[in-house]
Amino acid sequence: MSEEAEKLLVLAVDRDGDLESKTQVRSPAYGKTDVVQAATDLAIADPEEADANSIFAAVREYQKLQAKGVSAEVAVVCGVPDSGLDADRKIRREVEKILSMDKFTGIVLVSDGADDEQVLPVLQSMKPIVSVVRIAVKYSRTVEETYMVLGRYLRMLVFDPRYSKWVIGVPGVIFLFAGVLVLFGRAYEAGIAILLIVGTAFLVRGFGIDRSVALMLSQRPYGYLRIFSVLAGTLIFLVGLSSGYTYMALRDPVGAQAVGLDPGQFLTYGGNLIGYYLEGALPVVWAALAVYLIGALLAHLARGSNRVWRDGVLIVLLGLLYLPMDEFAIFLTGGVNSSVLLISYVLVGLAFTFAVVTAVYGRIRSRSPLLKE
């Protein structure tokens, strides 16, 4: 096709329909006079509207083509406020109407942002896109793209179940409990409930407890064994902490009361209090850790995993550490046992640990990996 037969349509696209919603103009606007008037009306209605600048830019591009001797015409088409499928269908109908007015060979698209450029496939299906002129008006393109990204992530947070349960579900539970408690005149309890719910949500999400539970359940029946050992170990551990406090208050009530009234007294009574606390809590806490480790060992044994050796070593270490910890508690309370005995327990435990670790991991390295990891 010869250059003389070429005729271009300089097209400004207002995909969200600001021109029609803010002025009395109805698209399509065709021809320089109508397009300039449409841009002027939009600029008067909203001086900060970037689409007005893009329409003026289309007129400028049209004048540049005319000055070069290229046959051209300028037009503006509008979509609808939701900028979705309906907007693209409306733009297609209006562009088809304009193209039927003359024999255009191509389209020059003038755009002020990524949203308007989403109509490129629609336009390409009708006429070739000769050029795309991008207009940046006081960073409007950057701001618009930023809003598009934020909008996409907000929709994901609201509608994606993986995130909505935390972003909407947890606040919903908080507001529901708080509203019910406030309704019954329990504002103080409402504050406590909010703290408990938020703290639990942060704890579960922060330490990945929900994922750990899901992983356990996905590991076939022995996953339930892990869940039982974890829950049982946690309950026993909490009982151990409570037992330690009760034993401490019973054996040294004067020190516990003094520190409760004046924390500065901890420097005086702290050694005895820690020692008695360890004496009371140590057996139960060690039992809780043993329940957890035994549950892990049995689950890995059922799976046929090599980690069973690691769990066995940890159980041995737990047993070896009991005597030094118990001796340390007696030492803090001023018991008759000497520090020499404490050091002896530590050295014997260290030697035995070294022997166990060397034997176990040496055996694992020497054998072919018959068990899966």
Please provide residue 24's backbone torsions phi and psi, each rounded to the nearest 5 degrees.
-90, 5
Q: What is the pLDDT of residues 166-211, one digit of tens each?
A: 778 778 888 887 888 888 888 887 788 788 888 887 888 787 777 7
CB 129 within 8 A of CB 106: yes
Q: What is the pLDDT of residues 255-301, one digit of tens each?
A: 888 888 887 888 888 888 888 888 889 999 999 999 988 988 888 78
Average pLDDT, the chain: 81
Q: Strand 106-111 to strand 129-134: parallel, antiparallel, or no bridges (unpaired)?
A: parallel
| The model's pTM | 0.45
Residue from 172, 168, 169, 177 nearest 196 by CA: 177
Q: What is the pLDDT of residues 281-294, one digit of tens each?
A: 999 999 999 998 89
Instruction: Specify which residues 131 forms β-bridges with.
Output: 108
For residues 93 and 151, the model is more confident at: 93
pLDDT band of residue 365 (cuts 50, 70, 90) is: low
Q: Which of 13-22, 61-70, 165-174, 225-234 has the lowest mean pLDDT?
A: 165-174
- Nearest-10 crossing angle of helices 307-332, 266-303: 160
Instruction: Specify which residues 111 forms β-bridges with.
Output: 134
pLDDT reported for residue 60 = 92
Cis peptide before 263 (omega within 30 of 0): no
DSSP-assigned letters across all residues of 237-265: HHHHHHHHHHHHHHH-HHHHHHHHH-GGG
- Alpha-carbon Rg for the chain in angstroms: 38
CA dist., res. 197 & res. 63, Å (int): 64
What burial class does residue 301 get, using C-beta atoms within 10 Å of its C-beta: 0-12 exposed, 13-18 middle, 19+ buried?
A: middle
pLDDT reported for residue 2 = 45
> Cβ atoms within 10 A of the Cβ of 346, count?
16
Please provide residue 29's backbone torsions phi and psi, each rounded to the nearest 5 degrees.
-100, 125
- 206 token code pair: 């922060």
Q: What is the mean pLDDT of residues 117-127?
A: 84
Element (H, E) at 118: none
CB 16 within 8 A of CB 83: yes
Can you give the residue ranges of every domain in the chain?
Answer: 3-145, 170-206, 209-366
How far, in Å, are 40, 83, 141, 312 from residue 151 at the CA level? Answer: 30, 13, 15, 52
pLDDT reported for residue 304 = 74
- Mean pLDDT is highest, among 35-49, 102-116, 193-207, for 35-49
Strand, helix or coil at 332? helix
Residue from 25, 26, 31, 37 nearest 9 by CA: 31
CA dist., res. 266 & res. 272, Å (int): 10
pLDDT at 26 over 80: yes
pLDDT reported for residue 368 = 46
Tell me, what amino acid is at 77?
A: V
- 30 token code pair: 């065709």
pLDDT at 219 over 70: no
Instruction: List, in sequence order, the alpha helices (H) in the chain.
Output: 18-22, 32-45, 50-67, 85-99, 120-124, 140-159, 161-164, 170-183, 187-206, 209-217, 222-251, 253-261, 266-303, 307-332, 339-366
DSSP-assigned letters across all residues of 87-114: HHHHHHHHHHHHHTTS---EEEEEESST
Q: Which of 162-166, 226-230, 246-250, 289-293 has the lowest mean pLDDT?
A: 162-166
As a whole number of Å, the end-to-end CA separation of the chain is 69
